[in-house]
């Protein structure tokens, strides 16, 4: 326990020293062999420290939660450290790969732009498209479940549409819905509709035969059975689709903006900043997309835990 903490502290101090050292003139871009050897040693030490941390199993639940969070954090932090040190130490051109510190600086400096892009792409296109696509997919699944020919006809079509590339749909949607965010939201609707449809249809048949017999023995009608048995049993499937769609929606909206958009939006910014070789801005947008996407996913996953706590994969 104490040994592990000491080791971690040593790695931390070593990393801080290396970071301070690498930015000095004379080292930045021309770091010597000794520096790289020291970094490699630090890497070894960090590996040992993190693996020891992962093996710690403290009794107290609070301490356990801290350890559970600390392992991926320490791991991620060290990756960023390596990235910074290698890029700066070896003098990698910013066009190829900017250092994390440069990206962070750019991020903070362009907060207003990033904010506007976020509102345009995430709040307007992603959220509205996601809500419409998921709701429509869900309702269609319930109808398709009742109407056999729809189920047989729609599901193969769903596979077909899922195979369509965004790059194909996006220009068409721009033709239909114009340059602004509604055409991006439409792309998101198309992308999220079918995963939700397919998953919900599968979920609606998840209730077991005995559970259905019970409803039948109560002479329960279609709607009662749907609300009290089949929908609750389908929830894990529905949440699966919600999670898949949370990532799909963001990708769809960003890529769709490559095909014509007003002069704002995360995808728009990425495409023009690449053309201008302003890679730090591109990376800042990527960081924004990563943060927004992870938070969105985490939020859906959290709701899933609350709603399907009874499912074998979540029971405590």
Partner 1 sequence: MRIEGSAGTGGMAATSNGVQVIDIAGLTLTFDTADGPVYALSNVDLTISEGEFVSFIGPSGCGKTTLLRVIADLERPTGGHIRVNGVSPEEARLRRDYGYVFQSPALYPWRTIEKNVMLPLEIFGLPKAERRERARTFLELVNLKGFERKFPWQLSGGMQQRASIARALSFDPRLLLMDEPFGALDEIVRDHLNEQLLRLWGKTGKTVLFVTHSIPEAVFLSTKIVVMSPRPGRIIDVIDCDLPRERTLDIRETPAFLAIAHRVRDGLRAGHSYED
Nearer CB in complex with partner 1: 246/308: 308
CB of 310 to partner 1, least distance (A): 4
Interatomic CA distance for residues 246 and 237, integer angstroms: 14
Nearer CB in complex with partner 1: 148/312: 312
Q: What is the torsional sign of CA 198, 203, 204, 206?
A: positive
Nearer CB in complex with partner 1: 97/214: 214
Nearer CB in complex with partner 1: 114/242: 242
Number of residues that bind partner 1 (CB under 8 A): 20
Using CB under 8 A as the binding rule, the residues of this chain from 230 to 289 that contact partner 1 are 232, 235
- Work out whether 313 is an interface residue with partner 1 (CB under 8 A): no
Nearer CB in complex with partner 1: 184/230: 230
Nearer CB in complex with partner 1: 2/217: 217
Q: How far is the CA of 120 from the CAs of 98, 179, 272, 308, in angstroms?
A: 26, 12, 16, 33
Using CB under 8 A as the binding rule, the residues of this chain from 283 to 312 that contact partner 1 are 308, 310-312
Torsion of CA 139, 145, 150, 152, to 10 degrees: 130
**Residue 178 region, left (φ>0) first, then alpha (ψ -120 to 50), else beta?**
left
Using CB under 8 A as the binding rule, the residues of this chain from 204 to 233 that contact partner 1 are 208, 210-211, 213-214, 216-220, 224, 228-229, 232
CB of 313 to partner 1, least distance (A): 12
Q: What is the torsional sign of CA 183, 188, 191, 195?
A: negative
Interatomic CA distance for residues 52 and 3, integer angstroms: 9
CB of 207 to partner 1, least distance (A): 9
Choose, by CB under 8 A, the member of 2, 156, 275, 315 that binds partner 1.
315
Token pair belonging to 65: 């939660």
Q: How far is the CA of 71 from the CAs of 10, 105, 132, 291, 297, in angstroms?
A: 16, 26, 38, 19, 20
Q: Which stretches of the chain bind partner 1, using CB under 8 A?
A: 208, 210-211, 213-214, 216-220, 224, 228-229, 232, 235, 308, 310-312, 315
């Amino acid at each position: 326990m104490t040994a592990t903490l000491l080791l971690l502290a040593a790695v931390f101090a070593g990393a801080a020293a290396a970071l301070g050292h690498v930015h000095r003139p004379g080292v930045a871009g021309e770091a010597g062999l000794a520096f790289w050897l020291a970094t490699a040693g630090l890497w070894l030490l960090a590996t040992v420290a993190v693996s020891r941390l992962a093996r710690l199993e403290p009794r107290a639940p609070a301490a356990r939660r801290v350890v559970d969070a600390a392992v991926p954090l320490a791991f991620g932090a060290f990756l960023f450290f390596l990235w910074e040190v290698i890029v700066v130490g070896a003098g990698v051109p910013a066009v190829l790969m900017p250092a994390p510190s440069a990206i962070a600086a750019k991020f903070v400096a362009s907060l207003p732009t990033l904010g506007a892009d976020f509102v345009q792409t995430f709040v307007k296109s992603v959220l509205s498209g996601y809500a419409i696509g998921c709701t429509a997919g869900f309702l269609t699944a319930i109808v398709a479940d009742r109407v056999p020919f729809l189920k047989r006809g729609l599901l193969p079509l769903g596979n077909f549409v899922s195979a369509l590339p965004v790059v194909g749909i996006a220009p068409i949607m721009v033709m239909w819905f114009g340059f602004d965010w509604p055409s991006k939201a439409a792309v998101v609707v198309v992308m999220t509709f079918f995963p939700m449809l397919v998953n919900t249809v599968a979920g609606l048949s998840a209730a077991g035969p005995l559970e259905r017999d019970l409803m039948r023995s109560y002479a329960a009608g279609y709607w009662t059975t749907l609300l009290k048995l089949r929908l609750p049993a389908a929830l894990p499937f529905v949440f699966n689709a919600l999670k898949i769609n949370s990532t799909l929606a963001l990708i769809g909206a960003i890529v769709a903006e490559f095909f014509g958009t007003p002069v704002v939006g995360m995808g728009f910014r990425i495409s023009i900043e690449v053309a201008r070789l302003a890679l730090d801005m591109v990376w800042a947008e990527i960081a924004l997309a990563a943060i927004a996407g992870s938070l969105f996913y985490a939020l859906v996953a959290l709701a899933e835990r609350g709603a399907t706590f009874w499912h074998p994969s979540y029971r405590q």
